[in-house]
Amino acid sequence: MTTYLQQAQTGVWDVRASFLPAIYFEGVGLAGGISVLLPPQHVDDEIVDRVLDGLDGLIITGGRDVDPDAYGQDPHPATDEANEDNRRRDGWEFELLRGAIRRGLPVLGICRGAQVVNVALGGTLHQHLPEVLGHTRHQQGNAVFSTSSVRTVPGTRLAALIGESSDAQCYHHQALDRLGEGLIVSAQDDDGVIEAVEISGDHFLLAVQWHPEERLDDLRLFAALVEAAATYSREKVTA
């Protein structure tokens, strides 16, 4: 699982730190997986390959907005200001994702992770949904998650996993706009916002705009990734 890189306070310390809320790896553990945390760092193909050699699956987690420069746009005033730490995380996750796709490593994107998947594959984002939709229900602020009803697209991997619809915990003011290469929409909400995308075929690459870790009574997405990772591991050993 990828992690944040930003200033953090704990006790008397106020330092730059890599961290991730525990609820993410609690979800993986409850689904039968083992978590490894991946801090943002210097990246090149050799480093990415060495890291991915030791993994059976990848979760790209939530966090701050992707730098709009990565998809050819000027920043909106409401977009998180890009700094060196943010850009390092963007670059790290882009390269991890592309390396995972090259080798068929299972991938789950969560919230920002869905946006990273889309941008890494050449897509773009709506930088501020309230200007597109006229309301703030997708991100009400003050760390309060809103509940959205998402409808899946028949025949997709996501529909097979969660059925026709599901209540999703959302906290995002941005969303996918133009789709990246090879992606298909697998869920939308009542406003028509893209809430999930995936790659068709056998490769498990699924990205949701909501936060499944906020509903640990429903482990279906984590369990699906863990199952795909177990299959990948077996095939890697026998290859």
Does the annotation mark 195 as catalytic?
no
Q: Which two tokens stand for residue 185?
A: 């929409």
Q: Which of 126, 172, 203, 211 is catalytic?
A: 211
Burial class (CB in 10 A: 0-12, 13-18, 19+), 205: buried
Does the annotation mark 26 as catalytic?
no
Q: Which two tokens stand for residue 114?
A: 């869905």
- Asked whether the beta carbons of 89 and 40 are under 8 A apart, the reply is yes
Q: Which of 93, 111, 128, 195 is catalytic?
A: 111
The CA-to-CA distance between both ends of the chain, in Å, stands at 25
H or E stretch at 50: helix 45-53
Does the annotation mark 211 as catalytic?
yes
Return d(Cα 70, Cα 88) in angstroms, integer.
12
Catalytic residues: 111, 211, 213
